[in-house]
Amino acid sequence: MIAPNLTLHPGDRLDDYELEEIVATSGMATVFRAKDVRTGEQVAIKVPHPEVESDPTMFDRFRREEEIGTRIDHPGVMKVFANPGRSQVYMVMEWLDGRLLRQVLNDEKKLPVERAVKLTVGICSALEHVHANGVVHRDLKPENIMVGPEDEIHLIDFGIAASAGARRLTFAHFSQSMGTPDYISPEQVRGKRGDARSDVYALGVMLYEMLTGVVPFSGPNPFAVMNDRLLNQPVPPREIEPSITPQLQEIVYRAMEREPKNRYASAREMAHDLLHPNEVGIAERPDAEQWKTRRSPERRRVLLYAALVLIPLLLFGLLLLVARRG
């Protein structure tokens, strides 16, 4: 695995940590498995790429992720350890054994109902704690869920999370500011910041995927995928996997309501229904019955939602260019 502009390599020493191997790389950072020479324990070291340190917006995101990870203390959230004496910017995180939920789904395609429900309840528990601490993840997806050997879960990567009271960051990169097209909530598509119910929506999409093996919305490009959730209804999960009960399908629908006010108000409410399906009433959903009728977005609407992303990106680029020339 090769990271862009890599300045550290396996075998290097970084303060009190011996870097052993690269385990992940992204547009923002490289993650190493490392050993703390003081304790002999395994840790994960996240080192931002040099271009991130020179980009105020992206560097602010890195700092925010560190601050949130240090503050949140829950077994379902990856811990970040305070490290005030470091010689350069990097993040020290707990080492987690397991696989990403994305890897689990790639290998198994879809999960048995009992396992999908168990994993979702675990994610709800972590989300409830995160939300209670004034944090919204905003980029929940299988790539950001670590599944342990006993199916315990950990939320990871709070790079675009929003803290209550924090200033809103400008859009420097679409995928790193608004979430991921397959899981992003309708309100985020419309350019709103999103709240805890946006995370509930993303979790509903993940539960749909775990149960059926497919995501509920599709399209030839990210904008088409985002528009699909604004215009059309997903294929009912029971049409794809008949073992899904009507109550469980109703839970998926409630989590994925297009309007936030109609969704579960909290992850705790969603977990309660998953644990007590006999208490779940089945609502009449005439819109859901129209899933075979697919509408295409008007050209103007596609351009509008594209502009929500592209205009801030262009403005940011111009401001950065002016700042570098100044």
Q: Per-residue DSSP letters for 15-35?
A: TTEEEEEEEEE-SSEEEEEEE
Q: How many Cβ atoms are within 10 Å of 272's Cβ, its own excluded?
A: 15
**Is 228 a residue of the active site?**
no
Closest C-alpha to 69, from 295, 61, 316 = 61
> Apex CA 163: angle with CA 159 and CA 169, to 5°?
60
CA distance 28 to 91: 12
- Cα–Cα distances (Å) from 11 to 34, 43, 61, 168, 303, in that order, read 9, 15, 28, 39, 49
Choose, from 12, 15, 73, 139, the residue flagged as catalytic. 139
CA distance 71 to 233: 39
**Residue 308 corresponds to which tokens in the numbers above?**
């929500």
Report the sign of the C-alpha dihedral through residues 108, 113, 118, 120, in that order. Answer: positive
- Cα–Cα distances (Å) from 236 to 18, 110, 200, 207, 277, in that order, read 50, 15, 18, 13, 18
HSE (side-chain half, CA atoms, 13 Å) at 282: 8
Catalytic residues: 139
